[in-house]
Amino acid sequence: MAPPRKYSPELRERAVRMVFDVREQTGERTGSIARVADQLGVHREALRTWIRQAEVDGGKRAGTSTSDAQRIAELEREVRELRRANEILKAASAFFARELDPKLPR
């Protein structure tokens, strides 16, 4: 289970939107994150991370999008489960093979 989040999703969305608005209004990229972070009481690095992820999700920056990351995590979880099931099936087949073949050592 994921740990509780320090900042709500609504605050994250609002902060990211505010940074993009400030950048659009002023035409400057520098200082916008610090200004918005201070206004909202959010840690600057947290906001910087949210901005980077929003840019990746929007196609403005290279990287793994949020939806892709979620899909990758689901697939990795499924692979782990399938490997575990495969090991159980291998062990069961070896057990029954020994039971059915009297020539094999027990």
* Percent of the chain at pLDDT exceeding 90: 71
Alpha helices in the chain (DSSP H): 9-26, 32-40, 44-57, 66-100
Q: Are 20 and 52 spatial neighbours (Cβ–Cβ below 8 Å)?
A: no
**Topology (CATH level 3) of domain 7-63:** Arc Repressor Mutant, subunit A (1.10.10)
Domains of the chain, residue spans: 7-63, 64-105
pLDDT, one tens digit per residue, over 35-93 is 999 999 999 999 999 999 999 999 998 999 999 999 999 999 999 999 999 999 999 99
Q: Determine the pLDDT at residue 56.
A: 94
Q: Are 64 and 55 spatial neighbours (Cβ–Cβ below 8 Å)?
A: no
